[in-house]
Amino acid sequence: MQLKRVVVTGLGALTPIGNNIQEYWSGLVNGVSGAAPITYFDATKFKTRFACELKNFTATDFINRKDARKMDRFSQYAEVASDEAIADSGLNSTDHNPDRIGVIWGSGIGGLETFQNEVLNYSAGDGTPRFNPFFIPKMISDIAPGQISIKHGFRGPNFATVSACASSSNAIIDSLNYIRLGHADAIVTGGSEAAVTIAGMGGFNAMHALSTRNDSPETASRPFDKDREGFVLGEGAGALVLEEYEHAIARGATIYAEVLGGGMSSDAHHITAPHPEGLGARNVMLNCLRDARIKPEDVDAINMHGTSTPLGDIAESKAIKEVFGEHAYKININSTKSMTGHLLGAAGAIEAIASILAIQHGIVPPTINHFTDDEAIDAKLNFTFNKAQKREVKIAISNTFGFGGQNACVALKKMN
């Protein structure tokens, strides 16, 4: 069958380096670090005492207090970012068929703070089970797309994707497929995460996954650097409105980029460690190129998963060289996690947005905090270290890999 073309007509972002699209892009191109000491709770006794929290954000500036109390932070973030994207797109349920507009949203963990606090409150009590009546609907991951659809009256496909750090990339791919197969005219997609909590920091510390560079948080996320020693936990949300091309043209929508395709794969190797030879990363990029019907030499930029972990950065770099061959040295590759930290299930959304903005503006954001080359990583690759680089980006891909071995890759193209 003839697949329909899918384009991006709306963007929204709530990140540690900017609370909207304009601020986010400014933070990216200027190499701003979002890492700072934790303010949400007393982290004095934690091995890692910093994170990439949102700055100057109050949910009740956007959501009325009564509704905000019924939502975990991850749902609040989802609503704020999606509101920006929907307003940007001009979509609404009055002028367009609401039965043909869906919401597919990703979150790796969902309402972790809600779960944590309910358990802590019970533990501190006398054993009488007193739980918030909104405990369950605040916690479940699928409540975020539910809240978005309720607010905007969108009655199309509605569900959540959960694949750890690949969650929102999988949401984008699912949205792409629903639209190009003709099951929807438009879908609000993306992801949100709010894991900077006692349980989140404690759990990732117990895994030895986080950087412990407490004396210099702003330089702690240093992908591909010899002295990297773990990722920096981030939070926030990214939202995109994906729309069938002819539908977008008919209503005169602004088009940011075309979504060419998406790939998925599994490492089938380890619950947290990547395949040492980057097998899953290689396969997911090949699957993406195949689905997008493009050749390796068509790609100009890659927003890497690039978390700043000792094993992951090496494996992904190997995979890129294997997939792209000599063309790998002509690609601008970068890791925006060096600035935003790792937003877990929201990473794919904000990084796809970074790729779209790179296409739009002809600027590839930097990988900051590079001090020392790692002999295990090919220094001839262009990692866009420390400073943004101007170049025309016609096609970009964005990688996200999750615990459990789930991998997702999205291909985006400049509109002619």
Task: Give the DSSP letter string of 134-191.
Answer: THHHHH-TTHHHHHHHHHHT--S-EEEE-BTBTHHHHHHHHHHHHHHTTS-SEEEEEE
* Structure token pair of residue 148: 């978005």
**Both tokens assigned to 375:** 């002999």
Half-sphere exposure of 221 (CA within 13 A, CB side): 30
Residue 257 lies inside a defined structural domain of this protein: no
- Please check whether residues 240 and 338 belong to one and the same domain: no
Select from 224, 250, 276 the last residue of a domain. 250
CB 254 within 8 A of CB 7: no
Helix axes 347-361, 167-180, angle to 10 degrees: 70
Among residues 256, 354, 269, 260, the alpha carbon closest in space to that of 305 is found at 354
398: left (phi over 0), alpha (psi -120 to 50) or beta: beta
Under a CB-based contact definition with an 8 Å cutoff, are residues 164 and 403 in contact?
yes
395 part of a folded domain: yes
Q: What is the dihedral of CA 262, 161, 309, 384, to 10 degrees?
A: 40
Give the structural domain span for 58. 7-250
Same domain, 192 and 98: yes
Do 241 and 273 lie in one domain? The reply is: no
Based on the fold, state whether residues 116 and 185 are members of the same structural domain: yes
Q: How high is the pLDDT of residue 77? A: 98
Q: Which residue numbers are catalytic?
A: 165, 305, 342
* Together in a domain, 266 and 240: no
Of the candidates 245, 221, 158, which has an alpha carbon nearest to the alpha carbon of residue 16?
Answer: 221
Looking at the fold, whether 242 and 284 belong to one and the same domain comes out as no
* Ramachandran angles phi, psi of 298, nearest 5°: -80, -15
Tens digit of each residue's pLDDT, the chain (416 residues): 799 999 999 999 999 999 999 999 999 999 999 999 999 999 999 999 999 999 999 999 999 999 999 999 999 999 999 999 999 999 998 999 999 999 999 999 999 999 999 999 999 999 999 999 999 999 999 999 999 999 999 999 999 999 999 999 999 999 999 999 999 999 999 999 999 999 999 999 999 999 999 999 999 999 999 999 999 999 999 999 999 999 999 999 999 999 999 999 999 999 989 898 899 999 999 999 999 999 999 999 999 999 999 999 999 999 999 999 999 999 999 999 999 999 999 999 999 999 999 999 999 999 999 999 999 999 999 999 999 999 999 999 999 999 999 999 999 999 97
**How many structural domains does the chain have?**
2
Q: Is residue 348 part of a domain?
A: yes
Domain endpoint, select from 200, 225, 250: 250
Confirm whether 119 is domain-assigned: yes
CA pair distance 358, 414, nearest whole angstrom: 10
Q: Are strands 236-244 and 6-14 parallel, antiparallel or unpaired?
A: antiparallel
Q: Which residues contact 249 (CB under 8 A, 6 or more apart)?
A: none
pLDDT at 1: 75
Same domain, 332 and 362: yes
175 domain-assigned: yes
Residue 255 lies in a domain: no
Domain containing 409 — which CATH number?
3.40.47.10
Q: Are residues 234 and 373 in the same domain?
A: no
- Answer yes or no: pTM beyond 0.75: yes
Domain assignment present for 1 = no
C-beta of residue 302 within 8 angstroms of C-beta of residue 397: yes
Measured CA to CA, the distance from residue 63 to residue 345 in angstroms comes to: 22
Residues 346 and 220 in one domain: no
Are 36 and 109 spatial neighbours (Cβ–Cβ below 8 Å)? Answer: no
269 shares its domain with 365: yes
Residue 256 lies in a domain: no
* Residue 270 and residue 225 share a domain: no
User: Which structure tokens are listed for 77?
Assistant: 């973030």
State whether 205 and 353 are in the same domain. no
12-40: b or e for each residue (b if 16 or more CB lie within 10 Å)?
Answer: bbbbbbbbbbebbbebbbebbbbbeebeb
The 8-class DSSP code of residue 257 comes to E
pLDDT at 276: 86
Among 199, 216, 250, the domain boundary falls at 250
3-state secondary structure of 194: coil
